[in-house]
Structure 1
Amino acid sequence: MASRHSDLAEDLHFRVLRLLQEHPDLSQRELAAKLGVSNGKLHYCMKALIEKGLVKLGNFANSKHHLGYAYLLTPKGIAQKARMTSNFLRRKMAEYEALQAEITGLQRELKTQAEAPAKKSARGAQ
């Protein structure tokens, strides 16, 4: 069970890093909404990424009168994201293959169930 939990945590970290690389100016609230997680869960995730040195908080001027914040991937964060991409892809391919096998099995089962009444009615007609 711990392995499944760590995979889910790594997936969330990966998805956060991916989004931040593309959109560093997203707020935690916006990130949480895009990822479909609670604000608290996202905050906990961001705190962990910052503590690991994968993300840093930077300032940028988004207008003449206001300062905004940006979550920037560090060089260490960029390298970690590359490793996580490989792991994420490997897990998703395994899930895809398992799902594909399950679909094939269900299709066979459905076909067998559909053929059974047809065979019984053909025998009864004789």
Structure 2
Amino acid sequence: MNTQTDKEEQLVLELLDAVGKQSNVSQRHLASNMGIALGLANSYLKRCIRKGFIKISEAPANRYLYYLTPKGFAEKSRLTTKYLAYSFAFYRQAGKSCIDVFNKCEMRGWREILLYGMSDLAEIATLRAQERDVEVIGILDPHTERHRFAGVPVWHYLSQAAPYDVCVLTELNAPLLSYEQLLKEIDKERVLIPDILRLE
């Protein structure tokens, strides 16, 4: 889900899903689960109430209970279907894009691949690499606290990374900015961009 509308629909889906699982959920908990600010969670909650997706009732101790309405269940189902269709399409397209990159690597004799950016694309790349004569040696990502992802090490600085032949960009949140940062540390000839990122 890449457009602003897609991102908003994903947040609505997360909100409807959370309310569907637990009616006495607090707005602070909703915001934390959705990874957004409390004010934004409140705004999405009010929007869902206005659209008739969620019903609110007061509980003791100044608390509120939130319930999905039949209209809310229908919207949750619609958004889930849309999200799954998008996910399958993304997985297929990303897999093909990774194979194209690995073909280029094999043609140039590059076997050791460093990924830049811990993401769904990085996870797909590690899986597709197992079908080829290449090896993902790890992932470089300065924005995470994790040390492993998709079965490979994660490094926060290039100086920590194992020796590699080429770096493949797998950052999904800000690919252009990440690419520009990457070129400050790695020669352009040694950076490959999957076409799913649409930077070339």
TM value normalised by structure 2: 0.50
Q: Deviations over 1:19-57 (max 9, x none)?
A: 110122111111111111111221111111000000011
The alignment of Structure 1 onto Structure 2 pairs a total of residues equal to: 109
Q: Deviations over 1:37-95 (max 9, x none)?
A: 1112211111110000000112345xxxx353221101111111111111111112122
- Corresponding residue to 1:112 among 99, 107, 116: 107
Q: Which runs of 5+ in 2 are unaligned?
A: 111-200
Structure 1: 4+ residue segments shifted above 4 A: none
Q: Equivalent residue for 2:22? A: 23
Structure-2 separation of matches of 1:32 and 1:70: 16
TM value normalised by structure 1: 0.77
Tell me, what secondary structure is at the counterpart of 1:91?
helix
Structure-2 separation of matches of 1:37 and 1:51: 20
Matches within 5 A, 1:1-126: 4-60=3-59, 66=61, 68-114=63-109
The amino acid that maps onto 1:68 is R
Greater share of strand = 2
Q: Which has the higher contact order (CA 8 A, sep 6+)?
A: 1
Q: 1:101, CA displacement in angstroms?
A: 1.5
The amino acid that maps onto 1:12 is L
Structure-2 separation of matches of 1:45 and 1:98: 31
Greater share of helix = 1
- Two-structure CA RMSD over aligned residues (Å): 1.8
Structure-1 separation of matches of 2:36 and 2:96: 30
Structure-2 separation of matches of 1:113 and 1:70: 60
User: Identity percentage over the alignment?
Assistant: 28
Q: 1:9, CA displacement in angstroms?
A: 0.8
Tell me, what secondary structure is at the counterpart of 1:58?
strand
